[in-house]
Amino acid sequence: MRLVFIGPPGVGKGTQAKRLQEITGSNVFSTGDILRDAMANGTPLGLEAKRFVESGELVPDEVVNGLIRETLAPLESGFILDGYPRTVAQGRFLESLLTELERPLDAVIEFVLDEETLVRRLSGRRTCSQCGAIFHIEASPSAKGDLCDKCGGSLTIRKDDEPETIRKRLIVYRDQTAPLVGFYKERGAHRAVSAEASPDQVFASLKETLGL
């Protein structure tokens, strides 16, 4: 399956993408994770992306488009794109890339949730500094407190999950990413899934939407 997941920060796209990967075998590509890895490793991509990511701004389209071309061109299997495209320009780039590769999208899933709940989810999020596992201080705390219960790494607040940056990211989503919903509705590929319920219930609606 070839899917795009769209939704504001904190909506749970990453969690749902990983769960879907387990049952479909489609690879998940999260541009946010790729950029954070590049930043942690100090690669040229990471150095270029750092100031945008840390301030909650979008990394320039050319940079992420290049990354996606490199990722998708050699790929034989299905994929789930988590956090890409994030602007209409990226949506157009992806459309022409997939036309060129003769591998069109099967669906675009928009995860929908109100802003108040998003802010609550993001401000409680903790990320393992070693393995990247995601916890939430209320909804899914680590069994080991401030340490990751999978690898023992210390849990941190992502710099861009701090309150000021959260607000900025939500504005960026509203202004730059939400217009993509109309773009995909026009193409008939758009499906909406409410992200309000528990991760298990959201996953059940996602599967139903995809006919799985």
126 is catalytic: no
Residues that bind ligand AMP (CB under 6 A): 9, 31-32, 35, 52-53, 56-59, 64, 83-86, 90, 160, 169
Nearest approach in angstroms of CB 8 to ligand AMP is 9
**From 19, 86, 121, 126, active-site residue:** 86
Q: Is 20 exposed, middle or buried (0-12, 13-18, 19+ CB in 10 A)?
A: buried
The active-site residue, picked from 2, 36, 121, 158, is 158
Q: Which is nearer to ligand AMP, 70 or 208 (CB)?
A: 70
Specify whether 36 is catalytic: no
Inter-residue contact 82 to 29 (CB < 8 Å):
yes
Measured from the CB atom, the residue of 59 and 80 that comes closer to ligand AMP is 59
- Concerning whether 86 is annotated as a catalytic residue, the answer is yes
Q: Does 174 qualify as catalytic in the annotation?
A: no
Smallest distance from the beta carbon of 93 to ligand AMP, in angstroms? 10
Active-site positions read 13, 86, 125, 158, 169
